[in-house]
Amino acid sequence: MGDGTTRDAWSSRWGFVLAAAGSAVGLGNLWKFPYITWNNRGGAFVLVYLACIAVIGLPVMLSEIMLGRRARQSPAAAFPELGNPKWAFVGWLGAATGVVILAFYTVIAGWSLRSFVQCVGWSINGYEAPSSEAFGAFLAHGPSQIGLGAAFLLFTAVIVVRGISGGIEKATRILMPVLFAIMLYLLVVAITMDGFGEALGFLFRPDFSALGAHAVLEALGHAFFTLSLGMGAMITYGSYVSRGDSIVNISLIVAVLDTVIALLACAVMFTIIFSVPSLKETMQAGEGGSTVGMLFVTLPNLFYTQMTGGSVIGPLFYVLVGFAALSSTISLLEVVVATCVDRFGWARRKATAAATGLVFLLSIGNALSLGASKAMSELKLPKVLTAGKAGVLSIFDHVAANWLLPLGGLFVTLYVGWVLDEKVAKEEIGTGPVYQGWRILVRFVCPVAIGWIIYEVLRGGDFS
C-alpha cells in the first residue's frame, strides 16, 4: 500500500481544477466528439450526450473525486482502504481500461505531431492543399504510425515518472487558458463564415428518428470518456485533493469547461464543412476516413485559406492539440502507474517502465490497423459488441469507451450508493439539497439508466 505521508498534493484548488480539466479536455473533445456527432447526424445525439453529462457524468465525477480524496489511494487500493477489499476489482478493471485507451489514444495523439510539422512547412513555404488521399496514405504508413505514437507515449512517460506535483500542475495552468483563447478566436472566425448557421442547426436541431440504441450507448460512453470517468482517473487525481475544497464546485467547473470546448470544436469544424461546398459533398457522402480525420484535415483548410494570422495559429493550434492530448495521457498513465506503486509496492520508475512497455506493445496493433496491415485493419468482433466497426483501433476505442467505461461508472455508482457508509458521503459532500439530489442519482437514476442502455444494446434495440 502507498504511504499516505509522502503523498503529493495540488498546490491550490485551481491547480487541481486545471489538471482535472486537462485530463478531461483532450482528443475526446477535439477529435472524437466532432466525428461521432457528425456520424450520428448531430441534434438528437448532442442532446442525449448533454443529458448523459448532466445526469450521469456529473454525479459519477463527484463520486470518483470523493472516493479518491477520502481514501488517498489509487483506485485498486482505494476500495480496500475504505473497508471493501472485494471492490478492488473496479480499480483493476480501471487500470486495464487505461492501458487499452492509451494503446489507441497515443497513436491518434501522434497525428498532432505530424500536423504540427506540416503546418510549420506551410507557414514557411506557403499553403498547398493536400490531395484527398494524403491523409489516408499517412494512416496506412505503418512506421509513421508506430513511431509517432511511441514518441507521444514517451513524452507522457517522461512526465509521469517525475510524479504528479510541479510538472502536471504548472503545465496545465498555462496550457488550458491558451487553448480556450484559441478556441474562442476560431469561433469568432467561424461566425463570419457562410456555413455557421447551418452548423448550429446541425448541432442543435434534434431529429430523433436518426437515433438507435447504439447511438445512445455511444453518447453515454463518450460522456464517460470525455470527462475521464469510469476508470479511476478522477479517483487518482482526487487522492491529491486537500480537505476543505468543495468537490461539488470542482466537478461542475470541469464538466462545464469540457462541454463548452467540445461544442466549440464542433461549431468550428462543421462551419468549415458547410462553408466549403466541395468539402460538404464528400463529407456527406461519408467517404473514406474523412470524418475520423476531421480535426487533422478540415481545420488546416480554415487556417490557411479563411483566416488572417492562420500561419501563426495553424502550428500553434496543433501544439495545443498535442498538449491537450498530453494532459489526458498523463492522467491515464498515472492511474496505471499509481496502481502498480500502491498495490505491488513497485518503485515509480519500474512501474512507469512496465506500463509504458505494455502500452507500446498493444499500440503496435492499433498503429497498423489504419491500412498498413490488412488483417489488423479488417478485424471484426461480434456486431453487438462493436456495432460492426472494423480494425483494431476502432475496436479498442469502441470497447473501452462504450463498454468498459460505462461498466466502471456503473460499479462506482453502485458502490457509493449502496455499499459506502452514508456518513462518509455526507462528510465529503455535505447534507444539503445537492447531497440529496446526488444520492438519488447515484442510487437509482444512474444505475438504472446505464443498465437499461446496456440491456437495449444487447437485445438489439432501437429508439427511433
Residues in contact with ligand TRP by CB under 6 A are: 23-24, 26-29, 101, 225-226, 228, 231, 233, 328, 331-332, 405
Instruction: State the Cα torsion 230-234-236-242 to the nearest 10°.
Output: -150
In the structure grid, which three cell numbers stand for residue 188, read together? 469568432
One-letter identity of residue 91: G
Pick between residue 27 and residue 302 the one whose CB is nearest to ligand TRP: 27
Pick between residue 97 and residue 369 the one whose CB is nearest to ligand TRP: 97
* C-beta of residue 221 within 8 angstroms of C-beta of residue 406: yes
The Cα-based distances of 381 to 363, 387, 394, 408, 460 in angstroms read: 18, 9, 11, 21, 15
Q: Distance between CA atoms of 289 and 133, rounded to whole angstroms?
A: 10
* C-beta of residue 329 within 8 angstroms of C-beta of residue 106: yes
The CB-of-63 to ligand TRP minimum distance in angstroms stands at 14
Q: Distance between CA atoms of 282 and 269, rounded to whole angstroms?
A: 14
Pick between residue 21 and residue 44 the one whose CB is nearest to ligand TRP: 21
Owner of C-alpha cell 444512474: 446
The CB-of-233 to ligand TRP minimum distance in angstroms stands at 4
Q: Return the bridge partners of 390, or none.
A: 380
How remote is the C-alpha of 105 from its chain's centroid?
9
- 96 CB neighbour count, 10 Å cutoff: 16
Residue nearest to ligand TRP (CB): 28
The CB-of-337 to ligand TRP minimum distance in angstroms stands at 13
Please list, in sequence order, all residues whose beta carbon lies within 8 angstroms of the beta carbon of residue 408, skipping any fewer than 6 positions away.
Answer: 90, 93, 94, 97, 224, 229, 230, 231, 232
* C-beta of residue 37 within 8 angstroms of C-beta of residue 200: no
Pick between residue 23 and residue 386 the one whose CB is nearest to ligand TRP: 23
